[in-house]
Amino acid sequence: MEGRRWEEMEEDCLVNIFRRLSLVDLTVAAPSVCRSWRKASLDPLCWSVLDFRGMDFMPWSDLSKSLAARLSVRRPSFTGLLKLAAARSKGTARELRFPRVFGASLRDLVYASDACPRLKVVVLPRLLSAEETHIPEIVGKWKELERLEMESKPSSFLELVKQISLNCKRFSGLAMSGSIKIEDVSAIVDYLPRIKNLRLHDSYLPKEKLLAILSGSRELEKLSVTDCIGFEADEEILHKASGLEAFEYEGSKLADDLGYETDECDPLYVHVV
């Protein structure tokens, strides 16, 4: 007996399948099969999660070659693919994850804040220190934002949490790394009182500041402070964290191999992702 052909599948079913594909498959593979697949791949539901992490946009990469062939462009770029994906989402994108290594700029962030106004999850790229001052204004545009992840703590962190407090009423999750100072702890406790998920991995985090977070963040459910410098999970810390659903602290220690244990900026302590 002859089975049903893939191209005869109902469009709603195809959309439900395609929304689980990567952006590369949605852009290069699925539209090339047949007209019905191309039509389904253009549905905005397929473009609700814009995940560019791990993508290599160097000219010699397989990704760039595939995009060049499919889109008939000479030099594919992250900016070009971001604009294509945002256009196909028609303003309904819920998650946006920028590439970790190459391609994203401040201009891309500004564009995304206008083209993707309904984002709930954003993973920001590493920016130049001069560009970090614009992050609070950009993030403040995402009124439905619930979770923000950053590779490192921006220089404008205090203003950032103020903007989140003013504009992002459903915000509940933050992830970053860096030197956590007392003013950072106060900002988290005072401006993000409803935070439930906090990740401060690979950071300088002294014990007293960790305890202040545990005491002040009353609605906190999950705290990850893995691979940090400045504390060891002693009885006092474990007792304070006993009410959490999850407390991750593996790899954390009092000082690094250089004996680094200071709250001031130290040229010997450089965070690299």
Structure tokens at 213: 């977070």
Q: Residue 100: which pLDDT band, with cuts at 50, 70 and 90? A: confident
Residue 17 has pLDDT above 90, yes or no: no
Residue 44 has pLDDT above 50, yes or no: yes
Residue 3 has pLDDT above 70, yes or no: no
**Is-contact 144 120, C-beta < 8 A?**
yes
**Is-contact 93 47, C-beta < 8 A?**
yes
Residue 30 has pLDDT above 90, yes or no: no
Residue 272 has pLDDT above 60, yes or no: no
Angle at 246 (CA atoms; ends 243, 248), nearest 5 degrees: 120
Q: Which of 122, 246, 231 is closest to 175 using CA atoms?
A: 122
Among 24-28, 64-68, 170-174, 236-240, the minimum mean pLDDT is found in: 64-68
In the prediction, which pLDDT does 264 show?
Answer: 43
Q: Which domains occur in the chain, in start order?
A: 6-180 (no CATH), 181-273 (3.80.10.10)
51-88 residue pLDDT tens? 998 777 776 777 777 777 777 777 777 888 899 899 99
Span 210-237, average pLDDT = 96
Query: Tell me, what amino acid is at 60?
Result: W
Span 92-119, average pLDDT = 89
How far is it, in rounded angstroms, from Cα 195 to Cα 220?
Answer: 6
How far is it, in rounded angstroms, from Cα 150 to Cα 143?
Answer: 18
Report field, pTM of the whole predicted structure over 0.85: no
Structure tokens at 54: 């791990």
**Is-contact 245 268, C-beta < 8 A?**
no
129-178 residue pLDDT tens? 778 899 999 999 999 999 999 988 999 999 999 999 999 999 999 999 99
